[in-house]
A and B are shown apart, each in its own frame.
Chain A
Amino acid sequence: MRSARLAVIVALVGLALSQPTVSWSIAQSSSPAPSRPTRQVTDITGRIVTIPSRVSRVADPWHANNGMVLMMGAADKIVATTLQARRQPWFRKLFPRIEQVPAAFDEAGDVNIETLISTRPEVVLMAYGGTVPRWKTTADAYGIPVFMMPNTSLADLKTTARMTGDVLGPRESARAAEWIRYFDDNIRRVTAVTSRIPASERPRVLHTATGTILTIDGVKTVIDDWITVAGGVNAATVVSNARPVGMEQIAAWNPDVIIVGTAPNEENRRAILKDPRWSQIKAVRTGRVYVNPTGVYLWDRHSAEAALQVLWAAKTLHPTRFPDLDLEKETKAFYAKFFNHTLTDAEYETLMRATAP
């Protein structure tokens, strides 16, 4: 009896010594299954979350972050996802198996807890918008840790990439670091030019979130951030994403540029150009109404392609100030490097027009 206990202690000490870089502990699980080695990570709310040392099964209720995981080459670790992530045409093209992954989460981020448990995730990667999901206690009871990451700015996007990589493992972590370097390089490249643009030459940009029912993206969003980086000013003064505004308010803002941010982007753009109520808006008069590109996820939102979005927006807002920025070349290099996919010319066009490949 005593010697058995001693053997366990010796084994534990041996394990601990063999991997000095991570803090090892034994999961306090009541299950009779042999305990697996774990490590601890800290999420954005400051909670210390215990996860297996090698994560191979993640649940991702965050549409945009599924694309991040794909970019890190770990899409095969996703065991539970959302309907919308499964529907993104480019996601499906690059990772067709997503269709077989159960959509345990609905559009609002709520969960079918039994589906979630049945997929046996080792961790749930969750966007933190100020509240912890109410099903977290149930998940806790089943030993499914919920790891929260921030989602309201371009800086948050980097934090989320880093944190996602940390959770997924060293290979993904290196990939995330590579992406962050690329992202930072692009921001530096753009701001080197745009930071010298005087306020009077910064176009006022309106970014629409929906077409039929007019909603627009306000300040304190990822969208506001990349508009600023690209040398523009958000024409909208309201706070947060997808706010409904009246036509007259848009006339009052009178934006210099309009970026149409939702599917079907091209049809929504044509609807704006056709509508007499928009005809005297400066952007319409000067023909500066653009479709935002879309890929694995919406470029303009919390996506891996946000790294390209800053280039696209800078070139779109200030074409003459970025004469040597070849967007097609950059885009093709990006998808080849981060999604292992060589874009054809036709595919590049579908990205730019935000249509299915």
Chain B
Amino acid sequence: MIRRLILLAVPFLLLFVSLFVGRLDVGPGDVLRIVAAQLFPIQRSWSESVEIIVVQIRLPRALMAMCVGGGLSISGAAFQGMFRNPLVSPDVLGVSAASGFGAALAILLSRSTLELQVLAFGFGLAGVAITYLLARVYQTTPVLMLVLSGVVVAAFFSALLSGAKYVADPESKLPAITYWLLGSFNAATLRTVVTVVPAIAVGTIGLLLVSWKLNLLSMGDEEASALGVRTEQLKAAIIVCTTLITAAAVSTSGVIGWVGLVMPHMARTLVGPDHRRLLPAALSVGASYLLVIDGVARTAAAVEIPIGILTAIVGAPYFAYLLRRTSGTWQ
């Protein structure tokens, strides 16, 4: 019970702390008053520029990091259960590669940020739809077929992405595509948060609703259907939910690796393998993790450090540690 309360509280605590951290010196008192002013009528005693820093810059970034981190992590946990494989990440069906190509295309065509997000989101959904159709065999979608189709689709869109980079203007568009692919929350505004959160929320709630069925599914398709689970519908529902989340995340924040792969394992060491507890824990751990990482990314240097670099630098060694500790059995 206490552990559950802590898991619930930590992301919100970190969200609050994030508002105090940044390149600019903003007095903690001002931050507190500005936050309070959003909820209660308070006499304004701070400058508008300070309010913009806290409300328009720090808050959307932190909210975005929290939603994306939680979303990617819970998607990873659900997929690892569904595929019965601890090495699976949310982009196993090719969503990141397809979204990435959509975004690169938007940059190449000099489209606006909103158009970029729409294009990336659309390509992400389309990529997974192709994977799913490729994997259909006699009304079923065997896990192995899904993984292999995902490899095919990801390879295809990666090739298109490389093509886009190849023809991109190296003085401006090539760096933009490169930075975008490494992931960043810099583009987050209140408006993007408002457009993205519904997709992530729907996906997350969907996954939480089916979490107990995931326990059955993770025993294998045949065992699960013997216990009365309609496995095909369940798998389709899980794929729709994770794809909504991941496509929304990638389309606003770029490709952020390692969160969906490593954070579910971290959650598993905290609450065990039961998906009813694992999924909410993964949500909390992932959200907290990206809040911390983004805090570092935007304050450590004048130059913005791409999120994807930090998550890999932290995630890879932790994964290696888990690998050694469990000797590859993941128990």
Binding site for B on A (CB under 8 A): 63, 83-84, 87, 106-109, 209-215, 236-238, 241-249, 251-252, 261-264, 267, 271, 275-277, 279-280, 298, 301
Contacts and interface: CB of A to CB of B under 8 A. Distances in A.
A215 B171 CA distance: 11
Contacts of B57: 246-248, 251, 277
Given A213-B177, A271-B112, A277-B57, 16 more contacts: A83-B167, A84-B171, A107-B169, A212-B110, A212-B113, A212-B187, A213-B107, A213-B180, A214-B186, A215-B175, A241-B171, A242-B175, A244-B306, A246-B298, A251-B52, A252-B23
Contact of B112 (A212, A215, A237): A212
A271 B179 CA distance: 19
Interface string B179-197: 1100010110100000000
B269 to A, nearest CB: 33
B179 A215 contact: yes
B42 interface: no
A280 B189 contact: no
Contacts of A213: 107, 175-177, 179-180, 184, 186-187
A244 B110 contact: no
B327 interface: no
Contact of B302 (A238, A261, A276): A238
A255 to B, nearest CB: 13
A248 B298 contact: yes
A215 B24 CA distance: 19
B38 interface: no
Nearest to B60: A277
Interface string B158-169: 000000011111
Contact of A107 (B23, B58, B116, B174): B174
Contacts of A209: 171-172, 175
B166 A280 contact: no
Nearest to A88: B169
17 contacts: A83-B167, A84-B169, A84-B170, A107-B169, A108-B174, A109-B170, A212-B187, A213-B187, A215-B175, A245-B186, A246-B186, A246-B304, A248-B58, A248-B298, A251-B49, A252-B23, A263-B110
B172 A263 contact: yes
Q: How large is the interface on B (under 10, 10 to 19, 20 to 34, 35 or more residues)?
A: 35 or more
Contacts of B176: 210, 212-213, 215
Interface centre among B48, B52, B297, by most A CB within 10 Å? B52
B170 A107 contact: yes
Interface of B: 22-24, 48-49, 52-53, 56-58, 106-107, 110-113, 116, 165-177, 179-180, 184, 186-187, 189, 297-298, 302-304, 306
Contacts of A236: 302
B52 A244 contact: no
B59 to A, nearest CB: 11
Nearest to B47: A280
B164 to A, nearest CB: 11
B58 to A, nearest CB: 7
A210 B173 contact: yes
A245 B166 contact: no
Contacts of A261: 172
Contact of B24 (A108, A214, A248, A271): A248
Given A210-B175, A249-B302, A276 B52 contact: yes
Contacts of A264: 110
Contact of B303 (A83, A210, A238, A277): A238
B94 to A, nearest CB: 23
